[in-house]
Amino acid sequence: MTERSSGIMPMPAAAPTRPVRKDEIELSDRGIYIESWLPERRSRRRPLLFVHGELAGSWVWEQHLQYFAARGWEGHALNLRNHFWSQTADPTTLSFDTYTEDVLEAIERLGSAVVVIGHGMGGLLALKAAERRPVGGLILLSSELPKELRDPALAHELREIPEVYGRDLLGWETLPERLQRDHRDLALADILRIQHLLGQKPHESGAARRQMIAGVPIERARLAGIPTLVVGAGLDRYVPEAASERLAEWLSADYEPFGAHSHFGLVLGEASHLQVADTVRAFLETNHL
C-alpha cells in the first residue's frame, strides 16, 4: 500500500513556556463532566474538544491536554455519559445517538470555532456532530468508519454484542505481558494504567456498538470546507491503518500514518503520543487554528 501524507512537517516540540491551570465544565442537565486544561493566559488559538472512544474517558487525553495547554491551546476533554467522572447512568438506556448529543452539547458550550479531536468511536462521534453543528476543524485518530466505508455487518456479529460490555470485548482482560506484545509502543506501566482505567466491570453501551458496526451514515457534503486531519496507526488491531487512509481519501482530508503506533499508543504512549501531538500541532498551525 502506498502511504499518502499530507505534507505536514512536524516541528520539534517547542519547550512549554506557559503555565497551565486545570478547570472543569459541568453540563448538569446531561450529567456530563468536561476536564479542561488551560494556558494561564488566554490566546487567539481555537479551543480543542477531545472525544474519547469505547470504555474510556478524559484520562485518555491527559498527556495531550498538558502538551497543548503548555503551548497556548485550551483543551477540553469530554466524558460521555456513564464514563469516568460523568454521571452514572444505565448503559442499556444509552446509544450512539445519545453520545452524539453529548458531543453536540459540548460544542454548543465551547462555540463553533472549536476543533474536535476524536479517537476510535470518538472520531465517528466527532464526524456525526460536525455534520450537524459547525466546527472549526476535525482531527480523527484511528477513527471508526462511517457506514459509507464499512462492509455490511453480519447478523450474527450484531447479535453477539451484549447489552453491556467491558474490557474483555476489546481484548484487554488478559495478561499485561501479552498486551504489551500486541502494543509494542506502550510501556508496561502504560498497559497497566489502561487496563485499570478501562474498568473492572462492564459499563459500555452495547446499543452504541451495534449502531457503529451496523453503520452510522455521514452526509459528507456537510463537512466540506472543514480543515480535517486523519491519523492512522500501523499496529492498530481495532482500526487498521488502511481503513484510516480510506477515510482520509473519502473526506479529502490530510493523512498522516504512524506505522509503529498502536490504537492506544497514539494517545497514551509515554513516548509515542509526542509524535502524534507534534503532528497535530503542525496541522493546527498550518491551518491557523
The answer to the question of residue 266 being in a domain is yes
Q: Please state, in angstroms and rounded to a whole number, the distance separating the CA atoms of residues 78 and 82.
A: 12
Q: What is the pTM of this model?
A: 0.93
The answer to the question of residue 190 being in a domain is yes
| Domain ranges, residue 181 | 20-286
Mean pLDDT of the chain: 92
The answer to the question of residue 10 being in a domain is no
Q: How many domains does the chain contain in total?
A: 1
Phi, psi angles (nearest 5°) of residue 30: -115, -5
Q: Hey, what amino acid is at 274? A: L
Specify the CATH number for the domain of residue 244: 3.40.50.1820
Contact between residue 58 and residue 22 where contact means Cβ atoms under 8 Å apart = no
The answer to the question of residue 2 being in a domain is no
Cα three-residue angle 137-214-88, rounded to 5 degrees: 70
- Structure confidence at residue 41 as a pLDDT band (50, 70, 90): confident
DSSP secondary structure string for all residues of the chain = -PPP-----PPPPPPP-S-EEEEEEEETTTTEEEEEEEESS--SSPPEEEE--TT--GGGGHHHHHHHHTTT--EEEEE-TTSTTSPP--GGG--HHHHHHHHHHHHHHH-TTPEEEEETHHHHHHHHHHHHS--SEEEEESPPPPGGGSPPPPHHHHHTS-SEE-GGGGT-SS-HHHHHHH-TTS-HHHHHHHHHHT-SS--EEHHHHHHHHH-----GGGGTT--EEEEEETT-SSS-HHHHHHHHHHHT-EEEEETT--TTHHHH-TTHHHHHHHHHHHHHHHTT-
pLDDT score recorded for residue 260:
95
The answer to the question of residue 6 being in a domain is no
The answer to the question of residue 79 being in a domain is yes
pLDDT score recorded for residue 247:
98
The answer to the question of residue 1 being in a domain is no
Instruction: State pLDDT tens for residues 44-87.
Output: 899 999 999 999 999 999 999 999 999 999 999 999 999 999 99
- Structure confidence at residue 1 as a pLDDT band (50, 70, 90): very low
Instruction: State pLDDT tens for residues 152-205.
Output: 999 999 999 999 999 999 999 999 999 999 899 999 999 999 999 999 889 999
The answer to the question of residue 160 being in a domain is yes
Residues in contact with 227: Cβ distance below 8 Å, sequence separation at least 6, in sequence order = 136, 137, 138, 283, 287, 289
Q: How far is CA 252 from the centre of its chain?
A: 19
pLDDT at residue 12 tops 60 = no
